[in-house]
Every structure is written in structure tokens, then in C-alpha cells.
Chain A
Amino acid sequence: MSTTDFHSLWTAAAEPLGEIPTPEIEYVQLAPVLIVVGAAVLGVLVEAVVPRRARYHTQLFLSGVALACAFAAVVGLALSGHATTKAQISAMGAIAVDGPALFLQGTILLTSLVAVFTFAERRLDPAHHGHRVDSFAAEAAAVPGSDHEKAAVKAGFTTTEVFPLVLFAITGMLVFPAANDLLTLFIALEVFSLPLYLLCAVARRKRMMSQEAAVKYFLLGAFASAFLLFGIALLYGYAGSVSYARIADVVDGAVGTVDPALAATMSNDVLLLIGFAMVLMGLLFKVGAVPFHMWTPDVYQGAPTPVTGFMAAATKVAAFGAMLRLLYVVLPGLRWDWRPVMWGVAIVTMLAGAIVAITQTDIKRLLAYSSIAHAGFILAGVIAATPDGVSSTLFYLAAYSFVTVGAFAVVTLVRDAGGEATHLSKWAGLGRRSPLVAAVFAVFLLAFAGIPLTSGFSGKFAVFKAAAEGGAGVLVVVGVIASAIAAFFYIRVIVLMFFSEPHPEGPTVAVPSPLTTTAIGVGVAVTLVLGLAPQYFLDLAGQAGVFVR
């Protein structure tokens, strides 16, 4: 960059500013986000003013109502045509309200609602000192094992802050797939990541592990965010804007005027490609794609199981949503550059996830690797780069998220003296002792494996079909091979549950409250409905498959 360019930067800034226009905010179209963020702020106030005894119920009520209202708002927007004919960019170009955004927001809200139910479960552990306890630490700030902690437990403290935290995270997730410029994207990412780091750290049992997971997640997440941010800067250098539409125009060569301040860098394809790769890396980290997946098993295992379920389901939906928008709105003109790279990522992700899962001995780690493999399958749909690719990915995300929340909810039920019995050997013979719970878990595993009559099959079939039609036949072959490998460890768990002798000192299955029962029931229902009659929902995803630009 020469001295004159620097000079022009300064002079441009020094020129007298024109009048700053009043931002126009379409409050109605942003209602889902606003409701949730409002409830989160209220939740913070609740922590401050409501007596400790009433906080749990108040927070649960507030979260439930907020999520339900937000979902109603999404449905209302979709019904009034904002998903199709009236799709538009709102909030001064920051947020897109269109079919994919509303579909993903609806999915996130519903899975979150179900996940919040599992957060609120208080009947699994025996009561401490007459106080019912949930999965979260009595006082997160207390050093594990310290007197301070013991006192907090004795006093019956609970970390009801998890409710506002999860609402903040949901807010970020709602914005993430709807973000229409790179800065909004980054802010949304941080808004949902930071609460998640905290939530990972507040497990009641195995607190050291939980805190280790949180620190790892935070460090690596920050690392990935740095890449993302640097990528955003490079893309700004390339296009002179952070707006998706504007970058897309520059990529297509449709913009004639060049910002004089950026004359040396604009339309420099090296900036574009490096910036794109870095932004993509940030998103691939969030979905847990190889080689950015290493945090997943550790964090999934260490985090409180309800948080794991929420994270595994909702984060994936949000991150894939953002990736879809980035690839389909900003970079369709760059398809020939990103597709081969993504091919590689998808293949490595599918195979590595499936293969490493084979030797796992902890059910939560097993599900973590399973989620990595599934990230690969979803990537196959993303890579299709066709309208079918979008709709099949949307469908897969919806199907997958409910199965995931349900599966982790079942994990919370199987307990022994040390809390959840996550070691696989303890699950031996579970089907003999608790046939219903084992059967439900088997349904989820079959759905993960993609066996017909479950949602997993419909989703996998849809993405593979889209990928094959989009010219990615090799990817489909690899995907089927990876599915076959994955089927091994899913079925192995089923065999273990039903065909092994129960361990005499094996875990017991806790009887949950209606909250967890609802979460599991919804998971089973969605799994079966999407497996038996997927067409309506495929059509819905198909109608929602057009991005506004």
C-alpha cells in the first residue's frame, strides 16, 4: 500500500460527514429475536430481584413462554408470506427474513424449547439436604471440592442463571443463520458462543471435567473466532463492504465503481480466496467438521448432558444455516473454488467421525463422534449447490436436532452412584431391566444410523439424492460407506443393551419428571413422523429453500 493510499484513507475520513440516516428497524419481522433477547434480559433481572426460592419456576416459565411466543412469531411471519413472496432484508441490511432463516429459526426454537425442559429436570438426582437438584452446580463460582461449595450445596443453591444464559445463546443462534452481513455474523457468533462456554462449565457432577471442557471450548472457540474475524477483514478488503449482497456483486463482477480507499486491494482474488477460506473455517469449527472437530468429544463429554444435547442440536442448525447462506448468497459465483475444498472436508469428516467412533467406550463421546460424522453427511447436502441441496439440508437439520436432544435426554436417565453412567459397559443389558428406555434409545440410534422408517433415513436419503444430482456422486459413495461403518457402532450399542447380560451392580434408570419425558417423547414422535411421512416436511423445506439477496 503506497503513501497516497494511506493519505486518501485519512482524507476520506476527514471529509465532513453527511447526515446520518435514522435506522429503520422492522420490529415485527425481527419479533422472534426480540422476544427471546427480551426474555433473556428479563431473566437477568429475575436473578437480581426475585427471591431465590421462586427463581426456578419463574425462570422456567419465562423461558418456556418466550420460546413458545417466539416460535409463534416465526409461524406468523411464515404464514404471512415472509418466507416466500415477502422475503426481504431488514434492519438496514443486517438481517435477512426469508424462507431458510424462518425455517431454521423455527427449528432452533422448537429444539431449544425441548432442551430447556431437560435443563429444568430436577428429579433424577436424590434431593440434597431437602433441596431438589438439577444437572447444574450449586454455585458455579465455587472451587470444586471446597468448603464454599459444600456450603452452597447445603444451602440448596441452584444455578438458575442457566436459563437467561441459554436464552442469550438462542438469541445469537436465531441471528446467526439470518445474518446478512459479515459483522452481524460475527456478533451473532459471539453472542451464542460466550453463554455456551459458561454453560459447559457448570456441571454439578465431575466439575473439574466440566470446567476443563469449558476452558478448552473457550480457547479453541476464540482461536476459531480470530480466524473468522481475520477472514472478514480480508473480505472487506476485497469487496469494500461486509454486506453479503455487495460482496456477491463484486464476485460476479457486477460492480463498476471502486472505492478509492481500497483501490489497491479491491477485486484481488487472493484476498477473496484467503478471506473466504478463513470465514469458512470459523463456521466449520462450529459444526465440528474435521480437522476443526477436536473440541467436540471433550466438550460434549465434559459439559452437563442437557447442555450437550442443546449444543449438539441447536448450534449445528445455526452454524449450518449460516454456512448455507454464505455459500449460496455470497459465493455462488465462486462455486468452482469452494466445492472441491468442501468435498475434501466432507469426505474426511464423514470417515473420521465414523471410524473413530468405533473404539469409543463412553456414550457421550460416542455421540460426539456420531455428530461429527453427521456434520459430514450434512456437508454433502450443502455441497450440492442446488435448491434441493438447501431443502434437503434444512430437512436433515430439523430431523437430526430432535433425535439429538432426545438421545442426550435418555443419557441423563441412566444413572449410578456417581451420576450419569456414561461408560458403555454399564449399559449392558439395559434392555432387560428397562425395556422402554432402551427401546426409545434404540429408536434414536436407528435414526442416527439412517435405518428406514426413521427420520434419519429420510434426511440422509434427501441429502444424498441432492448431492448425487448436484454432481457429487463420489461423495455419496463415501457417505454410504461411512454410514455403513457408523451403523456398526450404533447397532453395537443396541446389541449391548438387548443381548448382553445385565451387570449386577449396573446403573438404574431414574424416573424423570414430565419435563424430560416430554423432551424424549417429542424426539421419538418427530423421529417417527419424519420417518413415516416425510413428504409434508420435505415440501415445507422445499418451499423454504430460497434465499433472499
Chain B
Amino acid sequence: MLELSRVTKAYAGIPAIDAVDLTIRDDEYLTLLGPSGSGKSTLLRLIAGLDMADSGRISLDGDDITFRPTHLRNLGFVQQSYGLFPHMNVFDNVAFGLRYREIDPVTDDSEVTRRVRSILDLVGLGDLGGRMVGQLSGGQKQRVSLARTLVTEPKVCLLDEPLGALDANLRERMTVELRKIRETLGVTFMHVTGNEAEALAMGDRMIVLDRGRLLQVSDPDSVFRAPRNVGVARFVNAYNILEGEVSDGSFRYRDLRFPAHGAPSGRASYAIRHDAAEIHTDTAPPESHASLPATFVASEFLGSRFFYFLRLPDGTIFDVERHLSREDPRRIEAGTACTVSWDPASALVFDAQGARLGDDTLKGAA
């Protein structure tokens, strides 16, 4: 178990990581989502010991490792740029840690060979041991980098945007394989990414980071369905967010009012999930729905889903996502005036500080 408490790091006075508390459990797949500049790489480097925290404490299985040098931490680190040793072949790259590490190096050559072979087989590179790394494709480099780390049996394996440099096809395949490899070895993965779909799909648990602070730590489903913060709702990229004000228990957006029961008055954000909205061109929206006038802009077909883009009177783009399993795609002329509607009970309201109203997890915390 890896624990961070009040870990803080600033560069030139600008905080990159701000009093972060986090527990990373054994044998889990943890994803860390954050926009670029959110401090996600910094957090990873602090855990790996490649940068030192200004204050706070990092401990691994109860040992304080805050200032322990990287090579004594027994944490794996897979970089986005792979960091392969260009002057060695694949086998020597993978064997490097076993042979030369400070703690418990493997001196028996046949043992090194056995372990390297088996890990190369696991990542599907069994027959490439003799290749120089310069002759590998991007996906193969990625696997070498992973194998090189996993063969040393780290307690936690940190992956910095591991799929970032791969093309879409390969990315999809690696997504499945990463999970499989992790489960085979039972090692904890902490996977950093800027891609919300990746973070939601891969993690057993998911962390959302913004401006050096953790916005939410929970299972991906909760992050997706119940973002605890308007920032999280933005990062998961599945909500239309309207800015307005709450008064008398309703949310006021321009001259419209949507029910927002129990919300305190003041500035607020109102989020409607892409797939919770419906488009009406000639029919009136259901009585119970809240609705907005909009102009149709375009549609996009994504396999099993359809995306419709509409423009609100103030120019904001409003996304509507419909699944083909539920209804047929609709053909709407660009420029058509229509109405978007949604069940107000499905909408989320965030207060001026960005916290979601009615979030049960809030109670008892803080």
C-alpha cells in the first residue's frame, strides 16, 4: 500500500501539487486523469522519487520513502517516451534491472534468461529478444518498456501516458492487454492519462486531478455518473454545462428556469449528460422535461452511437448523444430550429465553488 499525505511540490513558487492525500491499494488498476498542466506527471515523478516533495510524506507499506532515492523504492516507472537503452538489444534492456539493481540483483545468468524470456512471452515479444531497440515499432517499444519494468516485480508500476504515442488501433489493443498483464501479475498499476475514455475504461479506481488538487477519487462509474465537482464533469467530457444562477430553488439560465430543488441561491453550474438529452423538431417535449431552444448544427456517427451538435442562442455548443440500440439515427437539416429537453432529475447542479449539490459523500468528510 502506497500512501501520500499532504504531499506538496512547487516549481518557482507556483504550486504543481497541492497537499495531495492519496492511498494506492495493492493489486488494483488505478487511473489518473488530468488535463495537461494539472500536475499529473509531477505527482508520478514525486512518487517515483525523480522529484522530491517540498513537504508531506510518502510511505510504502508503512516505510517513509519521501526522500528515498528512486533506485531504492522498488516502484516501476514506464515513461511515455519509453526511455529504452539504445545501445542494447531487447533482451539486455529487459535484463538490465535484474542484473544491475542495488537490491537483490540476479547474478545467475540462466535465472535472468528464464525471467526475461517469460516476461517477453507475456508481453508478446518472445521472439524479438535479439533486436536492437532502434529496429522496433512504437508498439513494440512500448511492450519492451513495460516488460523491462515488470520483470523487476515492482510493488507499484507507474505508467506515464503509456498509450499516448500509439495510434488508435494499437491503443485499443494495448488497453485490453495492459489489464490482462496486470491481472496475471497481480501488480498495482497507476496509469496516468489525459484521455477521459482511457481513464474510465481501464481503471478499477480513478483519480481526477486539476491544478495540483485531487477533485475526485472513486470508481470510474461514479466519476462518470456522479462527478463531485464541475471540473470533473468537464474532464469526463460527457456533460453539457450551463452557467447561471440559482434562486428560489430553481436554476436560471438566461430567461429560462429549470427546477433545482434544495439548491442554495447564488452562482451555479448546471450539467446535463450528453445521453440524457433529447432533440425535438416538430413534437413538443414531454411535460415533465426541462427544455431549451437550439439550432441544429451537425451530426457525427461513431459506430454504435450518434452525436448531434446544436447551438444554443448564446452560441454555446450543446451535445446530444443517442445510442443506435435505442433509436434510429435522425436526419436533420443544418439550421433547423429545434428544442432539446431532459428529465430535470437527471441533471446535476454545482455550486459556485464547483462542488455538486446533493453529494452524499460530502457529508461526514471535511
Report whether chain A binds chain B. no
- B residues lining the A interface (CB < 8 Å): none
